[in-house]
Amino acid sequence: MARLEIDSKNIDPIQLRVYEAIQRVALHQKVPFIIVGASARDLVMHHAYGAPIQRATMDIDLAVQVPDWTGFERIRESLIGEGYTKTDLPHRLQGPQGGPIDILPFGAVESHHSIIAWPPSGEVQVSVVGFKDALDNADWLTVKKEPRIELPDWDTRLTGAHVLGMAIANIASESTLAFLKRSLDEDLVANLVRDSRNACGNATTDIVSALVGGLFGTG
């Protein structure tokens, strides 16, 4: 796990206020949490390492490890107390100056297949596969300001992609690896290349293939 530092001046002020609220609530509730999704990518790859942002996002995905759905509700109500408001989505809150937060609970509330289903109907379902693995192996990102903000956070060509795949295989649980083996077929790999908009030019397909090869020991 790496410990990274970035200057608060480099983060959008609205997003910075969201991260501050998340830290306050998580510390008060004493819940393990991690920033995931595109916002985590931007924090680490762009702000910490200087890679260009491919698609900017204002959404922040907050994953929280909770013992039950009551724990999730406590997190949500605490953020509402910080000025956030409910939306039509059970997991989304809207910030007072924008900056939506998607709260994704995992842990005791997830099924054996790493699926969470929001009560009472259970109709809204989200996969949280790999969240526990990510939490256990997260990088820590410190935002330099007073007071300091600490956020756990989750390429770089062929060798780096291959090593990254091997690292994922090393930390992933058996259920996560089984899920990835079922999911990463040729069509999904092609979609990953397409969605990246050929970020690395003609090498994009090779880089994605190197990642998969490192993950499953096939390259």
Tell me the per-residue pLDDT of 75-110, one tens digit each, with 9 for 90 and over.
999 999 989 999 998 899 998 877 789 999 999 999
Which pLDDT band, with edges at 50, 70 and 90, does 218 fall under?
low
Q: Judge whether 75 and 64 are in contact, CB under 8 Å.
A: yes
Domain 3-153 class, CATH top level: alpha beta
Question: What band does 155 get if pLDDT is binned at 50, 70 and 90?
Answer: very low
Least confident of 63-67, 77-81, 108-112, 200-204: 200-204
Give ranges for CATH 3.30.460 in the chain: 3-153
Residue 16 near residue 143, CB atoms below 8 Å = yes
Whether 194 has a pLDDT exceeding 90, the answer reads no
